[in-house]
Amino acid sequence: MAVTALPRSETGPADRQRALARSLAEASGAGAVEIGRIALLPGGAIQENWGIDADFDGGPLSGPQRLVLRCDGLTGVPSSLGRIEEFAVLQAAFAAGVTLPEPLFACADPGVLGKPFFVMRRVGGSAAGRPITLDSALEPARPAIAERLGRELARLQTIRPPRADLDFLPSIGPVEHIAQFRTYLDRHPNPRPVLEWALRWAETHAPEPLPSVLCHRDFRTGNYMLDGAKLTAILDWEFAGWGDPDEDIGWLCCKGWRFGRLDREAGGIAERAPFYRGYESESGRRLDPERVKFWEVMANLRWAVIAMQQSDRFLLGGARSLSTAITGRRATECELELLMLLDPAGAAERAHA
């Protein structure tokens, strides 16, 4: 990573640390803030997350605090909220009782770090997908975790438009999604017949819309933190917007997010039943498998486009990252899943053939 907002260690540019300390003191009402250790946290393909230990002298946060500062990474992808907007979504979700690190301050002034950022509390745990889906120690707790995720999702869906504090959020339904995916495919040099075929199916099978809710749009394994078996945070709200309540259900169940446990259809951690049960009991709304299937198709379409966009960061944006460059290959995994979802007879005919 060639350009970063903050130094990698305490010995980095002192002026930015001083500017950050002043900004934190001003925002928190502290007399002064002393910044200790700063380290880039793992993950965050699009955003950077910095762990910061800071000591607040006075104000409501007085004393030592463990914080996370979140700012833009080197390259973004389309449809990602800015950090100030993401901060407003976090505030709304936190107020709605969703489990996430308390959002504390946002700073739009580029004079502090060169780009907007926000600061939240740092909570314990890890979000890494494979350890979560493959750790045998989590085995007995998996249904409870899935059920809890269902409840969390229902809770965030209590946030509904219109909301003056979230009036910047895009409202995206099937028609808009399909149009966006096709616009992307039209610009892409390689034709993708499977995606076109599945988009046509989606266009002709879109269910009747339900009232809009807040969609996280990246609610899946890899974006929630577990400390042991305890859920400590739902992360990465940068794609949030208004949309269909089943969109996030389909996204979490999408095969691309099962991290080596394809058999566990709720995010690689459990069967669907406990996840659905948690959602239904918290929301009071019974899930319709046909609607969920529609949104799972949409999830695979979206994941395919995102995977291709990641490769574009190398192909078009010049990002010299093997990890992002190779991600585009995963679009074909989505295409296989689309074929399996929409042509089960064809799948049965070809399986083990």
- Tell me the number of residues near other proteins by CB under 8 A: 33
Q: Is the peptide bond before 162 cis (omega within 30 degrees of 0)?
A: yes
Is 205 near other proteins (CB under 8 A)? Answer: no
To the nearest whole angstrom, how small is the minimum distance from the Cβ of residue 118 to other proteins? 26
Kindly tell me the number of DSSP H helices and DSSP E strands found in the chain. Answer: 13, 9
Interface segment toward other proteins; rule CB under 8 A; list 92-100, 232-240, 286-294, 338-346: 338-346
- Helix intervals (H) in the chain: 14-28, 83-95, 110-113, 129-134, 142-156, 174-187, 193-205, 247-253, 272-283, 289-315, 322-327, 331-342, 344-350
Binding track over 42-71 against other proteins, x by CB under 8 A: x-----------------------------
- Supply the minimum distance, in Å, between the C-beta of residue 347 and other proteins: 8
CB 325 → other proteins: shortest distance, Å? Answer: 9
Taking alpha carbons only, the member of 248, 313, 225, 302 closest to residue 41 is 225
- Taking the C-alpha atoms of residue 268 and residue 245, their distance in angstroms, rounded to an integer, is 21
d(CA 176, CA 222): 26
Regarding 187 and contact with other proteins (CB under 8 A), the answer is no
Least Å from the CB of residue 44 to other proteins: 14
Q: Of 187 and 286, which CB lies nearer to other proteins in the complex structure? A: 187
Contact 68, 226 (CB under 8 A): no
Of 84 and 178, nearer to other proteins (C-beta) is 178
Q: Is 193 in the site for other proteins (CB under 8 A)?
A: yes
Sequence-ordered alpha helix ranges (H) in 157-271: 174-187, 193-205, 247-253
Letters for 121-150 (x = contact with other proteins by CB under 8 A, - = none) are ------------------------------
Does residue 192 belong to the site contacting other proteins (CB under 8 A)?
A: yes
Which of the ranges 48-56, 62-70, 145-153, 339-347 carries the binding residues for other proteins, by CB under 8 A? 339-347
CB 158 → other proteins: shortest distance, Å? 37
In terms of residues, how long is the chain?
A: 353
Q: How far is the CB of 339 from other proteins (least distance, A)?
A: 6
Out of 22, 322, 341, 344, the only residue in the binding site for other proteins (CB under 8 A) is 322
Give the range of 31-39, 232-240, 264-272, 318-326 binding other proteins by CB under 8 A: 318-326
CA distance 213 to 157: 5
For other proteins, give the closer residue by CB, 286 or 352.
352
What stretch of H or E contains 234? Answer: strand 230-234
**What residues between 249 and 288 interact with other proteins by CB under 8 A?**
262
Give the gyration radius of the chain's Cα atoms: 21
Residue 1 within binding range of other proteins, rule CB under 8 A: no
State the sign of the Cα–Cα–Cα–Cα dihedral 191, 308, 93, 98: positive
How far is residue 52's CA from residue 10's CA, in Å, rounded to a whole number? 10
Burial group, residue 189, by CB count within 10 angstroms (0-12, 13-18, 19+): exposed
The DSSP symbol for 264 reads -
Q: How far is the CB of 135 from other proteins (least distance, A)?
A: 15
Please tell me whether residue 196 binds other proteins under the rule CB under 8 A.
yes
Minimal distance in Å, beta carbon 41 to other proteins?
12
110 near other proteins, judged by CB under 8 A:
no
- By CB under 8 A, which span of 68-76, 157-165, 196-204, 287-295 interacts with other proteins? 196-204
Please state, in angstroms and as integers, the Cα–Cα distance from residue 26 to each residue in 111, 126, 261, 283, 333, following that order: 14, 31, 47, 40, 49
Contact present, 162 and 171 (Cβ < 8 Å): no
Chain residues in the site for other proteins (CB under 8 A): 42, 182, 185, 191-194, 196-197, 199-200, 204, 262, 322-323, 326, 329-330, 332-333, 335-337, 339-340, 343, 346-347, 349-353
